[in-house]
Structure formats: structure tokens, C-alpha cells
Structure 1
Amino acid sequence: MRSLYLLLFCTLFSFVAQAQLALNVLDFGAKNDSSALATTAIKEAIAKASQAGGGTIYFPPGTYLTGPIHLKSNITLFIEAGAELCFSDNFDHYLPMVPSRWEGTMVTNFSPFIYAYEAENIRITGRGTLNGNGKKWWAYSEVHVKNSPESKWQKEFHKLNKNVLHPDLPGWVERGFLRPPFIQPMYCKNVRIDGITIKNSPFWTVNPEFCDNVTIDGVTINNPPSPNTDGINPESCSNVHISNCHISVGDDCITIKSGKDRSGRKEARPAENYTITNCTMLSGHGGVVIGSEMSGDVKKIVISNCIFDGTDRGIRIKTARGRGGVVEDIQVSNIVMKNIKQQAIVLDMQYAKTDREPVSERTPRFSNIHLSNITAQGEQAGYLNGLEEMPIENVSFSNMVMETKTGFDIRASKGIVFSNVSVNPSSGPAIAATNVSGLQINGLRTAAGFSGSATLKFNNVKRAFIANCLIMEPIKTFLEASGNETEALLLKANDLRLVQNPLYISDAPENAVTLEK
């Protein structure tokens, strides 16, 4: 019993001691009327807490002008409701440059606004606001400076990245310089960001790199139309939990990455064990995106219970030749998509157009990707585009209702399954497939008239099974098959009573299709 009392006493003492280390930045000389730069005051508060083993840095209501904040282990930033940290747009304040990662390439660059390196047990919390004041950064990044004198920041970047710049960052050499991420912990453990509002990021907003056990909960991110201001980009991390967030940004809302090309393969650190749930995404290029920087692999990802309303795309997985890496074991379920401007679902292995090449470490791969319980309204239901030398493999769509202008377009893929899917495009086929093998369509429902097109349009499709499909409006043709490589297509137990011609075979072997009652 005595040992139990001692344990309780020690636990209580530890809690009280920790609670006493709540350091108010005003006590260190910070001004909450934005009249003076608070960078030094915040740094001193963090140093004092760190020397004591950790603590909470408290920002009471008001507006704070600051440069970069570097967190240490066991430090919490608590930003009270009514408090706003407004980050300086003086680029000199983010020097000296620090080890960073920029779009999947290891670099030395401007300090991120909130940065941590090899720290653990760090947290950013509260109901306050972080304002990145990004307009000046956006403008400078978009200026074409090829024929202009190098700025002092460019010169410093070039000096520190001589072995990186040209081979790994093509296209950016001739543009201003690399903007820093807003929040970037690197090689950290036990990272938590919750409750806060973030706006006007200079570049990617929340960008953990090589971290383990990351929780992002109840965060609101608002960036206006602006270049590359992604919302949450956990890259090469493990055990990531993103929930209850509201995101509207200038690029992708949530993106999962693991490094780019040579640099990503060298680090060889996958993004794995991620859960994304209960989030809403509004403006953005994509709702939840994987890639295109995925050279270190992306594995074991669950995305569920989210709403995308007004994004350009919903679920998007993208890569290109040269990336290498594997995307596999992805589960997406219980998603509502509205007002999608382009595709609801995209799996694209030719994000950058390149010529076919032999399979090597440069060749990416997509496999074991499963999507279910999705409703979508927008431009196109889905687009799958594999590589000739490495088709997309083992993808399933089940229990879906797609009300879109066009249906699914599937290319260079194998082992694709549709089960209990309703597709009602206003034009074109419900499913078009080119150079696809092992296609299974079971329980397709449609009430579309297809504007003269067939419900299914296949070109060079091998080994397909189409069963239990229901056509609910009169149409001319159910399946149009073409291509001299088309073979072994079996139609069975489909309700085609409203179809004028079940089959139309053009430029394909006559025995390629078998129609059974």
C-alpha cells in the first residue's frame, strides 16, 4: 500500500511540476500588439522550458509578430483563443538556412516558420491562429528570374545545395527560390497539432518529415488561391492520424508523400500506417492525394468518413516514370464528393508524360487499392492510367453512386473489379477500358441514355466477366468491343431488356465475346 501511495504522490508531483512550467511569452518581452518582433522572446521562453525538461509556452490573446519558432523536446505551444501569431514576411528573418525537405528532395533552405529537428513530445495547440502572411512569398516564387541578377537568398541557397539543385529540382532553378513550409518537424517522435487555425501559408502548410506517431486533430487551414499551398502533407512518416480537420487551400488538401526520384529512393523511408477520417475539404486541387512524390513507397493507408465539396478532384493517386516506389494497400470508404471539377477518382501513373522504358528502380507501381461506399457528383467518375510496362493492379470499386458528366476511363490496368456500382454519365460510356485484363463488372446499374454510345466500351480487353448488370433506360448498345487483342469476354445474367443491340463488335475477333442469358 505504501508503494501505491508513493506512486500516486510522484505522479501528482510530476503533474503539478509540469503545470507550473506554463511560461507566458509576455513575461519574456513579447508584445501582443504586433509592435515589435517576438522571435527572441519566444526563443528565450522555449530555452527556459527546455532546460527544466519541458513545458508550455503560452500566448494570451493579441497579435504577435514573429520570425521562425524552433521547438525542442517536451515543448507545447499553447495559442489562446484570440491570439494570432503573424509571421514576418522579411526573408532575412528565416536565415540561417536549415536542413529541410522540399517537394521530396533533401535540401538546406530557409527555416520553416515552426520547425523541429530530432525532437520528441512536441505539440501546437489552442484555439488561436497562425498567420503565414504568405503573399510576398507567393509573388516572389512566381517571378521568372532567369535573366535577372541572383538575389542574396538564391546565392546562399545555391552555395548550400551544389550537389542537389540541378539534378533534383529541375524547373525551379530558373524561378525565384524555394519557399519554406509553414510547420515542418523533421525526424521527430510524438507530434501533436490540434485545435488551431492556420492561414496564408507561404508553401506547404503542415509538413511532418520522417516522423513517428503524428496526430493532427481539429485543425482548420484556410489558404486563398495561391501556388503550392497544400494543407497537410505528412511525408515519409509512420503512424499518422489526421481527423476532424477543415481544409480549403490553393493546392491539394491532404497529400501523402515519401520523397522524389533519386532523393526519395536514397532516403528509402515509406509513408505507412496513416488514417485520415472525419475531415471536410473545400477548395483545392485534390481532396486526399497520394504522390506524385512517392519514391520511398506509400503503404497501409485508410481514408474514411470525409466530405469533398468543390475540389478539382476527390481521391487522387499520381506518379510518373522516374519516381520508382510502390503505392499499395490503400482503403478508401464512406466518402461524399460534390461539385468535383474534374475526376472524382484518379489513379494516374503518367502524371508527367514520358516514353516507355525498361522496368527498373525508376518504375513505380500501384496495387491493392480498394474504394467503397462513395457517392460523387461532378465532371468525371474516374480515370485510371497505368504504364505499358507496369499496369495498375488489383483495384476494386464497390457500393458507389456516380452522377457525373462522363464515366470511368481505364487504361493499362489489370485485376479491376466493379461491384454494385451505379454510374449515370450524361455522355459517353459508363466504363471505357483500353488495354485492360482481368476486368470484372458485377451489378452495374445505370439509368443513362449514353448519347448514342455503348454502356461499356472496350478496346483490347482480355478476360472480362460482366454479370448482373441492370439497364434502366432504353439504349442502343450495351457492349462495344474493338481491338484485335480483345479476347475471352463473358456476359452472363444481365438484364438487357431495354437494350436494342447487346453487342457491337468492331475490329475484334468474332469469338472474343460470349453472351449468355
Structure 2
Amino acid sequence: MKLIAGSALFLILTAFYPAPTDKSAGNGVDLPQVQTPTFKKDTVSISKFGAVADGLTLNTSAINKAIEQCNRIGGGVVLIPRGLWLTGPVTLKSNVNLHLAEGALLQFSDQRSIYPLVSTNWEGEDAVRNQAPISGTDLENIAITGKGILDGAGDVWRMVKRSKMTDDQWAKLVASGGVVNDKKDMWYPSEQSFKGANMAVKKSGQPMTYYEGIKDFLRPNMLSLLRCKRILLEGVTFQNSPAWCLHPLLCEHFTLRKVTVKNPWYAQNGDGLDLESCRNGLVEDCTFDVGDDGICIKSGRDEQGRKRGIPTENIIVRNCRVYHAHGGFVIGSEMSGGVRNLYVSNCQFMGTDVGLRFKTTRGRGGVVENIFVDGIDMTNIAGEAILFDMYYAAKDPVPQHGESNELPEIPVQPLSEGTPQFRSFQIRNVTCKGAETGILVRGLPEMAVKDILIENAVLQSRKGLVCIEAENIRLKNVALLTPAKTVMQLQNSRSITLDNIRYVDKADLLMHVSGDRTKEIRLLNTDTSRAKKAVETASNVPANALTMK
């Protein structure tokens, strides 16, 4: 299979899937130009405000004073020189570029008490949390650049599952302090953290005294940007975040370039990048090695997200690498405001639980549409290489030992504003060497996953295709290289075209079809003689549901 080189992306865009294109990506389509910030050359060093790089002095006041002064004089560059700089929460200001010199380590304090409780947002809803280590609200023209490192001291905030530790690691963790639950399968960094995890915490709407007793449980995201415009993150490394690492919310015109995000692989909620209700952005040449989803697109959760009604749109992601995440490129599950016009190209996912992960659940609502993916290479994927799942259960995508991942029998529900939709995806030129399942499409009985094209793919996996409650799905020139007895399984799916499907010799069964709502299944240009049996249909499949040519 020959991949399209560089950023020659999405060459076939039909009138049925109207979507603008970005000329800078080389694909001939016009997206709104992403505006980048510009700054005065004036530079001020935090050292001039009394900051000391000894790893002991708390430099919160000095750093924030330098940023405030730079903002007052019309903007410029605030320099963090080489050295180890200890600090509490840092607040960004408009027209300021916070520049970390090579060799600079901005170490956020592990003293949880110095991060005040604030009204903010958590997982798509209004919430009270601890102030983020670095944050900005209603700003314009801001940047964090350089070759330095920002460390969020996440270890003192995060709970840890016993199943994700070796015996020696677990013993050291428990000996360090904190609290272990009665089942001895979860460690918490403090009594407050343990208390919060074991109560039904109301995210918002309560007096601050309510949250003070569980303050340690309310972990902050590391970088929180709210309603900001013209943002640049370039060159720096963000690591060890308490919860999500980078969280732009309701932001416009952002660029992430050559950024590295690192979290321990066991980091609970340790997402790399979460773009929520943002528009007009570019993410390129970035590396994510994290404990939850790598590059994630969101737009609010359930009723609050639908009421906000602001989709994430007009985003280009290209030339990025993701390691050890729950998902490489992810949409959802908090996508209630919608997602549209996303372009993902030339990315590598290595050792992630899922490669391309599109997830939602009943109650979310929202429409995800016009998603274009081209040139994805994956290795050692623990779960699905390509996943559309409308039954997201807010747990790890790969079951822990003893857990089941089987879908329970769920009856049809009436359509409502809480019914989510996935439609109009084009995925081309994908390779995967090693996965549990090549492609899993799992829609709702009342709302199928619709209008999906997967073209030119080579997927080596333990299972091939599983397609449940789907409509207008087309696989063209797809190799499903699996040792499974059944290469493809279709259930209650409609208007499915399987064109030039390749598979290993002497497969027991090429395709199993079931479900009384199954119809218009077309198997085209496929050599069925290489399988011991071409097709098996369950007794409840309507007559003439399958066509083979």
C-alpha cells in the first residue's frame, strides 16, 4: 500500500460532505487562517523580580510580578533562565510570551495548600477545583515557548490503581504515606482525596466550605486557558500533570508546535491535550506520552454542553506521535456541543490502548461530523485500531484482568436531545501492526453510526471487523489480517459495502451476518475462495440481505 506523502490530504471531498480545506496543509481547501500571536521584543527576566533558581525558594510572587509588569508596559517576553525554579500557581496575561530557556525547569510546588479553590470546569461541566498550576482567562496574544520543562507535581495529587503497579512499586507507594482503600486496590495521596473519591461530589453550586473538606480530591488540570485568543505553545515540555495536561476551553486561534507532553502511563485522567469547544487551531509536530487519551477533542458534557452549544471545529492535527495513551487521536466522550471539520494526517500511535478512538454514550447528544483522517501508522495497539463506540462506560478501554468488555443487552430508546450522532467520517491510508481488533463500530439501536469510509488500510489484529448498529459504512481496499476463525462480523447493520477485502489464507469464515434489521450488505471484488466458508447468516437475517459480486 502506498501512503500519500507529506500533507497531501483529503483529495476527495464530495458535496455530500461539505468541508473547508486548509491551503497551508497542501490539500487545496480553505479553512480559516489560524492567527498566531506577535510580541514586542522587550524581555524581562524573572531574576530581576527576585526569583532564585535554587529549587527551594518559592518564586510564585516573582514570576507573577514579572508577567504583570510585562503586560502593563504593553507586552513582550518574560524569560525563565536556565535553572530549577520552584513556584506555585502562575497566571498568564495578555501580550506576554512566557519563554523557558534551554535548561530551565519550572517546578510547580507539591504543597497542595497553595493552590486555592476556584470556580472552573471539569470534564465538560462547571465545577470547583484547585487552581491550575498555570492558567489564563479572557486573554489575547499569549504564548509559552522555549526548550524548557514545566512539571506539574502530579504525583502528589493523583490516586493510583494497584493493578497498574508492580509489587515493588506498590509497596513503595504505600510506604510513602497516603491512604489505601479497604479493597487494597487503590491508593490515595491523602485522607481528603480518599474522602472525595468515595462520595457523590457535586461539581458546582455548593458553598466553598463544602469543597474545602475534600480539597485534595479536586485535582486541577495543569494548563487551563478559558476564552483566550491567539495562543502559541511551542517547543516546551509539559509533564506530570495532576489531571488533564493542556486544556484550552472556548479558545480561538491556537497553535501547538513541537510540544512534548509526558505523564506516567498509569496517570488517572492524565490526558495530553483536550481541546474543548475551540475553533481554528493547528497541532503539529507534537509528542504525547501520557496516562489517558493523547490528543482529545471535546465540546462539553450532557445538558450543559448542549446548552453551551459551541462545537470544536476547524482543527488540523498533523505529524504527531502518541505513546502509551488510552487513545491516540480521540473524539469524546464529552462532545455534547458537537465536533466538525477536523483534519488529521501523518501521525503515529505506538503502544496506545486504542488508535483512532471515537466515543460517546446516551445522554451526551451532539453531532460529530466531517472528520477526515489520512496517513496513520500504528504498532502494538492493545485494543482497537479504529473504534466507533456509542457505549462509552468511563473506564479503561482495555479491560483489567477479570473484567468483561462484552456489551450488555440494551433495548431501543426513543430519540431525544440526548441521543448522540457520529456521521461523515473519511479515514484513508492506515496501517496497524498488532491490535486486539482491527475495526469496531458499535452504534445504538436507535441511532446508528453513519456514513463512514475506510479506504486503503492494512490492519494486523487478533480480530478483524466487528460492526454493530451501523449504516452506510464502506470499506474499500482493506486488509484484515487476523488469525480469528471469523474475519468479519456484522449485526443489525444496513447499507454496508465491503469492497476488495483481503485476509489470510484458509480463514474458517470470511463473514458472519446476524440481526433482523440487517439489510443491503454488499461484498464486492473480494476473493472468497481463500476462506473455507465465505458467508454464514443467522436465521433472523432477512432474505436477500446480502449481495456478492
Q: TM-score range by the shorter chain?
A: 0.7 to 0.9
Aligned mates of 2:420, 2:485 — CA distance in 1: 30
Of 18, 22, 26, which aligns to 2:47?
26
Q: Secondary structure at the match of 2:56?
A: strand
CA distance 1:272–1:483, shift in 2 (3 Å): farther
Tell me the distance in 2 between the aligned counterparts of 1:18 and 1:33. Answer: 30
Counterpart of 1:400? Answer: 457
Q: Does 1:162 align with 2:205?
A: yes
Among 108, 132, 139, which residue is 1:112 paired with?
132
1:384 and 2:429 matched: no
Q: Distance in 1 between matches of 2:475 and 2:39?
A: 58
Rg larger in structure: 1
Report the Cα distance in structure 1 between the residues aligned to 2:496 and 2:235, rounded to whole angstroms: 45
Amino acid of the residue matched to residue 359 of structure 1? Answer: L
Give 1:129 deviation, angstroms: 0.4
Per the alignment, do residues 87 and 395 of structure 1 end up closer, same or farther by CA in structure 2, a change over 3 Å counting? same
TM-score with structure 2 setting the length:
0.80
1:126 to 146, 156, 161: 146
Return the TM-score normalized by structure 1: 0.85
| 1:128-179 residue CA offsets vs partner (Å, 9 max, x unmatched) | 0011111110149996889x9868997xx979923699xxx9xxx9996221
SS state of the match for residue 36, structure 1?
A: strand
Q: For residue 4 of structure 2, what is the aligned residue in structure 1?
A: none
What is the identity, as a one-letter code, of the residue corresponding to 1:57? V
Cα deviation, residue 17, structure 1: 9.5
1:222 is the counterpart of 2:240: no
SS in 2 for 1:138: coil
Q: 1:339-358 alignment to 2 at 5 Å?
A: 339-352=380-393, 356-358=412-414
**C-alpha displacement at 1:262, in angstroms?**
1.9
Change in 2 beyond 3 A, CA 1:116/1:472? farther
The letter for the 1-side match of 2:302 is: D
1:449 and 2:489 equivalent?
Answer: no
Aligned equivalents of 1:291 and 1:392: distance in 2?
A: 14
Where 1:358 maps in the other structure, the secondary structure is coil
Q: Is 2:59 the partner of 1:38?
A: yes
SS of aligned partner of 1:45: helix
- The alignment status of 1:367 with 2:402, answered yes or no, reads no
- Tell me, yes or no, if the aligned pair for 2:179 and 2:191 is still in contact at 8 Å: no
Letter in 1 for 2:146: G
Q: Which amino acid aligns with 2:510?
A: T
Q: 1:67 to 1:119 in 2, by over 3 A?
A: same
Deviation at 1:449, TM superposition (A): 2.9
**1:199 matched to 2:239:** yes
Residues 175-197 of structure 1: CA distance to partner in whole angstroms, max 9, x if unpaired? 96221011111000011101001
Q: Aligned ranges for residues 83-482 of structure 1 at < 5 Å? A: 83-95=104-116, 97-139=117-159, 161-162=204-205, 177-224=217-264, 225-352=266-393, 356-377=412-433, 378-450=435-507, 452=508, 454-460=509-515, 461-471=518-528, 473=530, 475-482=531-538
Tell me, in whole angstroms, the C-alpha distance in 2 between the residues paired with 1:459 and 1:91.
55
Deviations 1:213-236 (A, max 9, x none): 111110111111211111011111
**Residue 39 of structure 2 contacts residue 76 of structure 2 at CA under 8 Å; is this kept in 1?**
no
Give the CA deviation at 1:446: 1.7
Paired residues, what number? 466
Return the offset for 1:491. Answer: 3.6
| Structure 1 pair 426–70 and aligned structure 2 pair: CA distance change class (3 A) | same
* Shift in CA distance, 107/329, structure 1 to aligned 2, threshold 3 Å: same
Is the 2:440–2:465 Cα contact (8 Å) retained in structure 1?
yes
SS of the residue corresponding to residue 240 of structure 1 reads strand
| 1:84-121 per-position Cα deviation (integer Å, ceiling 9, x unaligned) | 000011112111x3332111111232111110000011
**1:277 & 1:384 partners in 2: Cα distance?**
24
Which amino acid in structure 2 is aligned with residue 71 of structure 1?
A: L
Q: Does 1:55 find its partner at 2:76? A: yes
- What letter matches 1:188 in structure 2? C
Check 1:410–1:174 CA distance in 2 against 1; reply closer, same or farther (3 A cut).
farther
Q: Secondary structure at the match of 1:234?
A: strand
Identity of aligned pairs, percent?
36
| Structure 1: tracts of 5 or more residues without a match | 1-15, 494-517
| CA shift in 2, pair 1:276/1:159, >3 Å | closer
Aligned CA distance change for structure 1 residues 17 and 407 (closer, same or farther; 3 Å): closer
Q: Which has the higher contact order (CA 8 A, sep 6+)?
A: 2
State the Cα distance separating 1:266 from its structure 2 match.
2.0
Aligned twin of 2:170: none
Say if 1:102 and 1:178, in contact at 8 Å, map to a contact too. Answer: no
Matches of 1:145 and 1:296, distance apart in 2 = 37
Q: Structure 2: how far apart are the matches of 1:384 and 1:458? A: 14
The answer (yes or no) to whether the contact 2:46–2:80 under 8 Å persists in 1 is yes
- 1:252 touches 1:285 (CA, 8 Å); kept in 2? yes
Unpaired segments ≥5 residues, structure 2: 1-37, 162-177, 183-189, 394-407
Letter in 2 for 1:205: C
Separation (CA, whole Å) in 2 of partners of 1:492 and 1:152: 58
Aligned-partner SS, 1:208:
strand
1:269 CA displacement? 1.4
Give the whole-Å Cα distance in 2 for the aligned partners of 1:442 and 1:314: 23
C-alpha contact (below 8 Å) 1:144/1:174 kept by paired residues? no
Stretch moving more, 325-334 or 347-356: 347-356
